[in-house]
Chain A
C-alpha cells in the first residue's frame, strides 16, 4: 500500500483543456513536493508546499496543499503538449530524511 496515492494514474487530453491531478494520504506530511519526470531523465522539482492550505502558482500550474497537510493537488490550465510527462508527488514526514513518493500520473497532451 502506497502512503501517497496519486490519481489518475494516466491521463490523455487535448491541448487547451484543463486538468487536475490528486495526491492523497491518510498521513500528515511536513512538506510536499511535486516533480515532473520525462523519459530517460530524473525527476525535476516543480514546487514545495509547506503550510496547510497553501496555494502556489507556476505559470499555468497551480499547486495546493490540503488544510490538514494530508493531500495535495496540481491543476493545469490550458494544457500544452510541452506539459506531457510523469508527474510525481513526494512528501517528507516529520523529522524524517526519507522522501515518500507516489506512483505518479502519466500525462499526455495531444496537439
Chain B
C-alpha cells in the first residue's frame, strides 16, 4: 500500500501571494487532517476532511481553506500569505475521524519572505 505523499516538499513565496499544497492519502483512508508545525513547536490542527466535507476546524483564519476529492486526496490553500505562515505543513490520513492512528506525510516546507 502507498503511504501519504505531499507536494511540493519545499516552496518559497512572498507576502500576499497564495499557495496550494497537495496531499494523497494512504490507500483505504477516507479522512485527511492538515497541521501546521512551526519551527521548534508541535503541530497545530488546521482542519479535517471526511468524505469531501470539512469535519472540524482549528483556530485558523478563513484564508486557510481546503478541499477533499472523491479519491480522498486533499488540498490546503492559503491566501494572502503572511510571514508567520512560514512552517512545515503536514497532512495526515486516517481511517476514522477521531481517536485513531494518523499516518503523516513528510510535509511541505513553506517559507514566506
Contact = CB atoms under 8 A, between A and B. Distances in A.
Interface residues of B, number: 25
A35 to B, nearest CB: 8
Contact of A43 (B41, B45, B58, B104): B104
Interface of B is mostly: loop
Interface residues of A, number: 26
Identify which of B55, B104, B106 gathers the most chain A CB atoms within 10 Å of its CB: B104
B56 A104 contact: no
Contacts of B97: 97
A41 B68 CA distance: 23
Identify which of A6, A48, A97, A101 gathers the most chain B CB atoms within 10 Å of its CB: A97
Contacts of B55: 97
A101 B101 contact: no
A102 B42 contact: yes
Interface string A1-27: 010101000000000000000000000
Contact of B44 (A42, A92, A101): A101
10 contacts: A31-B99, A40-B106, A40-B107, A42-B92, A42-B104, A43-B90, A88-B43, A90-B42, A97-B56, A103-B40
Interface of B: 4, 33, 35, 40-45, 48, 55-56, 58, 90, 92, 97-99, 101-107
List of 9 A-B pairs having minimum Cβ-Cβ separation, nearest first: A42-B104, A101-B42, A97-B98, A97-B56, A103-B42, A98-B45, A97-B97, A101-B43, A45-B101
Interface of A: 2, 4, 6, 30-31, 33, 40-45, 48, 88, 90, 92, 95-104
